[in-house]
Structure 1
Amino acid sequence: MKKEVQVHSLFSDFDISLFRAGKHFRLYEKFGAHLMEVNGEKGVYFAVWAPSAKSISVIGDFNYWLEGEHQLNVRWDGSGIWEGFIPGVEKGTKYKYKIQSHHNDMVIEKADPYALSCEHPPNTASIVWDLDYKWKDKKYMSTRKDKNSLDQPFSIYEVHLGSWRKNMDENRSLTYTEMADELVGYVKEMGFTHVEFMPIMEYPYDPSWGYQLTGYFAPTSRFGNPQEFMQLMDAFHKEGIGVILDWVPSHFPEDKHGLGQFDGSHLYEHPDPRKGYHPDWKSLIFNYGRNEVRSFLISNAVFWLDKYHVDGLRVDAVASMLYLDYSREDHEWEPNEHGGRENLDAISFLRELNKEVYGSFEGVQTIAEESTSFPMVSRPVDLGGLGFGMKWMMGWMHDTLEYFKKDPIYRQYHQNDITFSMTYTFTENFALPLSHDEVVYGKHSLLGRMPGDEWQRFANLRLLYSYMFTHPGAKLLFMGAEIGQYEEWNYNTSLDWHLLQDDYHKGVKELLTDLNKLYKKQPALHEKQFSAEGFEWIAYDDSKNSVLSFIRKGKDPKDSLIIVCNFTPSVLTDYSVGLPASGKLKEIFNSDEKKYGGSGTKNKSLKIEKEEFHGRDHSAEITIPPLGTVVFKIL
């Protein structure tokens, strides 16, 4: 028998019209479970979208999980929204929706799509919660636009919270509160400007690493509650470090308590399996053409920026959204209305997402993980682009790692692999990723890819990072790369922190700390990192020596840097480099320094001669260390 559910609504007619038009981007203020007082009684207002439901009961530990005790009321306007106020329900109450569907009278138990907190998996109930918190980052938020703009250094440390560091005494991951001390301090010490979390939204299955979500509005309970996650955000902001969240609007799992067949119908997923089922991940794909689903997803992106003060979203698997034939055989997909393979609904959704994010929040960035040559991913929507701030440079990552795998003796035959990226670097605002995907599934760790003896392997790794930090674009490095992990990443174990007892590993960490300092201190490395005006080749064709030389430029010509990379273990002495001006050449960075584990081959202050070389009026003879990168400044 229905009892104690009072008629109450947070929805105005305008809210309903926006929702049905796919233009309501603050749905978290309406849907879900909201603690409030109605007619002098404290309790919770519940609202859920389920147009194919015949009846919906809120079941939970407050009513012994009994169906029919507290049935919600369906709105009269045909919106498919069920709602009602239940007195006496308190913060911390566990609940689900029990839905009887019009489809075959099936009865389903579902978690709340808008729940602010969830039970620790494998338990699946939603938890009534609030977002009350006194933020302490007002100063940071007011100046964020200056730190987060594209002409500023963007050095990202990618983290899987469950495996970054363990509490070894209790054999568990750190809590949000512990990370606010240990992780924040470490990222600050290393000098990264941003941290990126692999998905922290609630997910049921640890081996998915968080990329198959069931609680889009709830930070995972594995490490603490919502307020404790806010404390972690606050702690990063106190140190001036931006936080980027991985966000997954591309697909969701089929878990029974999740979004799949939510009300007995294909509500969130596309009903056509050619568009609604992902064969690779055995997951469901959102129906980007359904207005209410677009409102749900864009509201979710806005939610993290609004309520958790997030500084950016890295959008996962964008390529799988853009193409109807992604990972499908010829007979498994249907062309769009123009006969093409592009998913027009998904493209429209991504453009609307970015318009809303950039229009509503100052100083944030969206970053696309997009692995194809789809045009204008990081160009403004009003110019025909998708509107992202940046795009991962997957081609650079692939070509570079393939090149570094090769024995240096063969690199002279593959010079094009290491130079090719510069033919398209400025077609997008690229971020250079050495991400978690590159150190799993038998690919080996980054160190494990490097050829040669122990010294050469570490020298190659230092060279890789130095080349990366001097190449145009933002930088992203997955945790563990900075200490030279031997083993592939394992989501279930801690990083091998004991390796830092060894000088080679300690040297890699010190090198990356100094590279972050260099990247931040030298305007030439970031002011024009997305512009062709910020780069100029000196010589890219010295394949015989496997050497690259180029100039990085900032807004002031005096800030220009000369970078020379030697991809062989031979020391090159009296090596002539054409230069743009007279003066003296001062070495300001050398990846072969002894403190990094190198040989200590260095350059003293060098006089620039008025001798033509590389088509320039001036030149100097330098020494290039083995498997090393040297950065010079003209004084």
Structure 2
Amino acid sequence: MTSFICSDSAPIRHDVSRLTDHDVYLFKQGTHFRLHEKLGAHPMTSEGTEGTYFAVWAPNAEQVSVIGEFNGWQPDVHELAPRDDQSGIWEGFIAGVGQGALYKYHIESGWHRYRADKGDPFACYWEMPPGTSSRIWQPRYAWQDAEWMKRRQRANALDAPISIYEVHLGSWRRVPEEDNRPLNYREIAPALAAHVLETGFTHVEILPIMEHPFYGSWGYQVVGYFAPTARYGTPEDFMYFVDYLHRNGIGVILDWVPSHFPGDGHGLAYFDGTYLFEHADPKKGFHPEWKSYIFNYGRHEVRSFLVSSALHWLERYHLDGLRVDAVASMLYLDYGRKPGEWIPNEHGGNENLDAIAMLRSLNEAAYRDHPDVQIIAEESTAWPMVSRPIYLGGLGFGMKWNMGWMHDTLRYFTQDPVYRKHHHNELTFSLWYAFNENFVLPFSHDEVVHGKGSLLDRMPGDEWQKFANLRLLYGYMWAHPGKKLLFMGGELGQWGEWNHDASLDWHRLEHAFPQGLQRWLQDLNRCYRAERALHEIDFAADGFEWVDAHDWEKSIISFLRRGRDPEQVLLVVCNFTPVERTNYRIGVPCGGAWQELLNSDAELYAGSGQGNFGRLEAAPIPQHGRYHSLALTLPPLGVLYLKPVDR
């Protein structure tokens, strides 16, 4: 990497600025959402001299200087100057310093004789951890995804099939011959794209890749809110990753973490010797469970910082959406706190009004400037109207994770089938609220860590039953209203918990049961994309109709999924016991032939091969309040998808 050495004859200049008075005004108002274009380090040419313009917000500092390899990390060589008396911004131009140079801000304050060397909050590239310096960088990349960008509004629409494969880049696949290193951005792109295309997912969601000091945080403890981690390459390498997936027709969603940040000395915490980015009162500014700091959402400059970060990822990296982490912890002042450990809002409630305002600003700006993306909330409570428009009183998200469905469904499936009849309501309850929000059904990384076991390991029974249960779980999930999300390894029948220091167990695909499971997911995704009844009306009751939700004694449910066209209808029948049911009669909306589109017990999927020979006729025998019915063979621990033909 090239470094630029600045001689003593090239002092810092203060007659150059990228900032305008209007920028400062918007920043102070909390409405400047392109701060990354103004603050930070920007290589430029001033009066024929190449160098870098630096600008940093440190309103309570008494002295700020740029230190780096170009001045021997000496704080008395390149001092920045205050832009004015009110903005709190320090700025300056250093000649001869450019692309690739490492730097920090040396900040001194009279508060407790504070001295600290801080990374740049707006740096777009950082030193490889465990190094902690920022790196001057101006990304240059020739995008080739114009075709995807033109049509992605259709791919990201609420009535589109959205099937998300959640990935942690550092542990998806590793290179054992090279000290078990993870693949870099450019290496993983073709391998991941091929796997996603083979398995049939429409989108990839990657765990946070913003720069973070502790790898074991999985990226959820961020210091670089504008920088992809150097662990896997340069910003251009990450652009290539997104570009490659786009050119293969795959959307890319990024986890984004505005809920908290770590206290590492080179990061945002206590940035200028005061509580600048975080709230000063620990009852509002420190997270008791995660031992990290909470942003001061009521501070206008912090709101500008966070929304600028979100838009930066959408714009510079062409991302198709953001999944906003831990929204519940932002919304509630008493989240994770005991009585007496939190401060009510001005109305005496536990709602964080400042966080609500920030989230609405985020969603309003994102959908105003990029109506073809999706902003998705990980919100685990019953907060109303999370995915409803701001003008109707909502938070303005496009979608929300359905954590209630996830918990109830896993609790049901972990039961021995003999006891499932006593837990039938855990299956049916989700339909009482399924259309209150635009839901994503998630089986995420959080469900396969911290002693919970893998999804396969949590299924009851012997090996055959475990895989049959898992195929049944996925079949039920793909038919249930809502978009889909599955964490990596779920498609392989990963036996152990996810380990962020190891590759997935790809060798399992040498065996019959994991092969069958992967084929099942391939066909589920193919059917999900092809049949509009399975995705077109996910967020309204018009797309779902129970046939029979009450056969708790046999642990069987049956329902219809519908598209906008009345001719688009699918029947789904789930048998949650290992007992085969023959001549089980199900009422259907029309007579004639019905095709068995999918059967999770087919031998192709390593099942027992019980089913209905692919096609059967509806008889004029009333059942379930309908004039026609089918006499079905329900395979053990199996799910059937059936469709009327010749209508």
Give the structure-1-normalised TM-score.
0.99
Q: CA offsets, 1:13-65, max 9 Å, x none?
A: 11111000000000000011101100100010000000011011100001111
* Alignment correspondent of 1:634: 644
176-185 or 22-31, which deviates more = 176-185
Q: Structure 1: which 5+ runs fail to align? A: none
| Counterpart residue identity of residue 112, structure 1 | D
Are 1:449 and 2:458 an aligned pair?
yes
**1:104 Cα deviation after fit:** 2.5
**C-alpha distance in 2 between matches for 1:28 and 1:77:** 22
* Alignment correspondent of 2:13: 6
**1:127 Cα deviation after fit:** 0.4
* Alignment correspondent of 1:312: 321
Q: How does 1:484-499 map to 2 (within 5 A)?
A: 484-499=493-508
Per the alignment, in what secondary structure is the counterpart of residue 483 of structure 1?
A: coil
**C-alpha distance in 2 between matches for 1:194 and 1:518:** 16
**1:618 Cα deviation after fit:** 1.3
**1:227 Cα deviation after fit:** 0.3
**C-alpha distance in 2 between matches for 1:535 and 1:496:** 37
**1:143 Cα deviation after fit:** 1.1
The share of aligned pairs that are identical, in percent, is: 58
**1:595 Cα deviation after fit:** 1.2
Pick from 118, 121, 131 the counterpart of residue 129 of structure 2.
Answer: 121
**C-alpha distance in 1 between matches for 2:189 and 2:84:** 47
**Are the equivalent residues in 1 in contact too, given 2:533–2:563 (CA < 8 A)?**
yes
* Alignment correspondent of 1:41: 49
Q: How does 1:526-565 map to 2 (within 5 A)?
A: 526-565=535-574
Pick from 56, 63, 67 the counterpart of residue 71 of structure 2.
Answer: 63
Are 1:612 and 2:619 an aligned pair?
no
Q: CA offsets, 1:182-210, max 9 Å, x none?
A: 11111111111000000000000011110
* Alignment correspondent of 2:631: 621
**C-alpha distance in 2 between matches for 1:353 and 1:101:** 32
Per the alignment, in what secondary structure is the counterpart of residue 143 of structure 1?
A: helix
* Alignment correspondent of 2:278: 269
* Alignment correspondent of 2:381: 372
Are 1:166 and 2:177 an aligned pair?
no
* Alignment correspondent of 1:83: 91
* Alignment correspondent of 1:146: 154
**1:339 Cα deviation after fit:** 1.0
Are 1:483 and 2:492 an aligned pair?
yes
**C-alpha distance in 2 between matches for 1:389 and 1:263:** 36
* Alignment correspondent of 1:566: 575
Per the alignment, in what secondary structure is the counterpart of residue 292 of structure 1?
A: helix
| Counterpart residue identity of residue 29, structure 1 | E
**Are the equivalent residues in 2 in contact too, given 1:2–1:70 (CA < 8 A)?**
no
Q: How does 1:578-593 map to 2 (within 5 A)?
A: 578-593=587-602
**Are the equivalent residues in 2 in contact too, given 1:3–1:71 (CA < 8 A)?**
no
**1:2 Cα deviation after fit:** 11
**1:77 Cα deviation after fit:** 4.0
Are 1:182 and 2:191 an aligned pair?
yes
* Alignment correspondent of 1:350: 359
**C-alpha distance in 2 between matches for 1:123 and 1:365:** 34
Per the alignment, in what secondary structure is the counterpart of residue 567 of structure 2?
A: helix
**Are the equivalent residues in 1 in contact too, given 2:10–2:95 (CA < 8 A)?**
no
* Alignment correspondent of 2:139: 131
* Alignment correspondent of 1:290: 299
Q: How does 1:13-52 map to 2 (within 5 A)?
A: 13-52=21-60
* Alignment correspondent of 2:223: 214
Per the alignment, in what secondary structure is the counterpart of residue 104 of structure 1?
A: helix
| Counterpart residue identity of residue 104, structure 2 | K
Q: CA offsets, 1:318-377, max 9 Å, x none?
A: 000000000101010111111111001001111111000000013100110000000000
Per the alignment, in what secondary structure is the counterpart of residue 427 of structure 1?
A: coil
**C-alpha distance in 2 between matches for 1:487 and 1:3:** 58
Q: CA offsets, 1:126-164, max 9 Å, x none?
A: 000112111111111111101110000110000000000
**C-alpha distance in 2 between matches for 1:244 and 1:620:** 42
**Are the equivalent residues in 2 in contact too, given 1:131–1:307 (CA < 8 A)?**
no
**C-alpha distance in 2 between matches for 1:560 and 1:77:** 67
99-108 or 396-405, which deviates more = 99-108
**Are the equivalent residues in 1 in contact too, given 2:562–2:568 (CA < 8 A)?**
yes
Change (3 A) 1:411 1:2: farther
Q: How does 1:392-541 map to 2 (within 5 A)?
A: 392-541=401-550
**C-alpha distance in 2 between matches for 1:524 and 1:157:** 22
**C-alpha distance in 2 between matches for 1:578 and 1:631:** 14
**C-alpha distance in 2 between matches for 1:432 and 1:518:** 17
* Alignment correspondent of 1:225: 234
**C-alpha distance in 2 between matches for 1:27 and 1:254:** 23
Per the alignment, in what secondary structure is the counterpart of residue 67 of structure 2?
A: strand
* Alignment correspondent of 1:100: 108
**C-alpha distance in 2 between matches for 1:139 and 1:451:** 46
Per the alignment, in what secondary structure is the counterpart of residue 557 of structure 1?
A: coil
**C-alpha distance in 2 between matches for 1:152 and 1:102:** 57
Change (3 A) 1:553 1:2: farther
**C-alpha distance in 1 between matches for 2:154 and 2:544:** 23
Per the alignment, in what secondary structure is the counterpart of residue 332 of structure 1?
A: coil
370-379 or 97-106, which deviates more = 97-106
Give the structure-2-normalised TM-score.
0.97
Q: CA offsets, 1:532-583, max 9 Å, x none?
A: 1000000000011100100000011211000000000011110000111121
| Counterpart residue identity of residue 592, structure 1 | D
**1:105 Cα deviation after fit:** 2.7
Q: CA offsets, 1:187-243, max 9 Å, x none?
A: 111111000000000000011110000011110000000001000000010011100
Per the alignment, in what secondary structure is the counterpart of residue 478 of structure 2?
A: helix
**Are the equivalent residues in 1 in contact too, given 2:546–2:559 (CA < 8 A)?**
yes
**1:308 Cα deviation after fit:** 0.3
**1:3 Cα deviation after fit:** 6.2
**C-alpha distance in 2 between matches for 1:371 and 1:512:** 27
Q: How does 1:215-254 map to 2 (within 5 A)?
A: 215-254=224-263
Change (3 A) 1:24 1:456: same
Q: Structure 2: which 5+ runs fail to align? A: 1-7
Per the alignment, in what secondary structure is the counterpart of residue 587 of structure 1?
A: strand
**C-alpha distance in 2 between matches for 1:314 and 1:489:** 20
**1:606 Cα deviation after fit:** 1.4
Pick from 192, 197, 211 the counterpart of residue 202 of structure 1.
Answer: 211
**C-alpha distance in 2 between matches for 1:472 and 1:113:** 41
**C-alpha distance in 2 between matches for 1:509 and 1:619:** 32
**Are the equivalent residues in 2 in contact too, given 1:117–1:219 (CA < 8 A)?**
yes
**C-alpha distance in 2 between matches for 1:362 and 1:42:** 38
| Counterpart residue identity of residue 101, structure 2 | T
* Alignment correspondent of 2:80: 72
**C-alpha distance in 2 between matches for 1:23 and 1:580:** 54
**C-alpha distance in 1 between matches for 2:112 and 2:280:** 17
RMSD: 0.9
* Alignment correspondent of 2:3: none
Displaced runs of 4 or more, over 2 A:
none
